[in-house]
Structure formats: structure tokens, C-alpha cells
Structure 1
């Protein structure tokens, strides 16, 4: 039970530690919205080729790239703080 609670807290950004599990598509869009705003994040995802992927977020999703890998490329491109990784 404690382990399950710890996983839940990590997933939601709680104090049980840094969550290092997979990123889901919904979480990817939530993170993009947080940093770019809901309207601009969609435009940005369609128009900006990420150096780490050689394609846009939308293209990477369509090509089946893992959401975690996409987020790491976004994180790097936006030069976000380590806490957002």
C-alpha cells in the first residue's frame, strides 16, 4: 500500500520523490500547455522541428516515438529547468 501511494504521489508531482516513469500523451499535452499556453502549444507542436528528434511533436507522435522521448526533446528545446524534466 505504501509503495502504491508513493507511485501515485510521484506521478502527480508529490513529495514522495521524482517520478521517472513513462509519459502519457495526455501528460505530454498538459506539460506543453503549462509552458506554452493551450493555444500556442498546438501551433508550436505542429511547426517547430525538435533538434533531438528531427521532426515536430505532431510528426513524432504519428511516427510512434515514445511520449517520454518527445518530452525530453521538448524540454531540451525550451531550455526548461531540470525540475521539469
Structure 2
């Protein structure tokens, strides 16, 4: 067996790294900013309320929408890199 990965294995590995990165951001925003770090963010005003409450109510949703667009953009670049475009 050679040490080189096949292109399919490299593609899947890059895809898994991207998914893992998105999941880390998702967990940080939804659990970290909205729940765990809410008392620390309570003193920061944003959008007429404190930042912790804003993340719990609106920031998480906006972050998730941003993650969807980021994932689609990165997957398009990854598809082109591995010549898997439409």
C-alpha cells in the first residue's frame, strides 16, 4: 500500500474537516455564546439588549444561516479542486 491517499479519500477527508469545523462553530455559538457564556456577555449591549440574550434569540439563527452559505461556498471550491463540478 502506498502512503498517498486516493483522490476520493482526500476529498472525503477535506469534507469531514469542513463539517467538523462547522460543527465546532455551531456548538460554540449555540451552547457557548447563548448558554454557557451568557453571564459574561450580559454586560455588552447589542441590538437593544445584552449580547448573550441576542445570541440566544437571533444570533444563533443568523450564525446558522451564515454556516449554511459558508459550507455551500467551501464545498463548491472543494468540488472544483477535485474536478467534481457540475
Q: Same fold (TM over 0.5)?
A: no
> What's the TM-score once normalised by structure 2's chain length?
0.33
Q: Which has the higher contact order (CA 8 A, sep 6+)?
A: 2
> What's the TM-score once normalised by structure 1's chain length?
0.34
Structure with a larger share of its residues in helix: 2
Structure with a larger share of its residues in strand: 2
Higher-Rg structure is 2
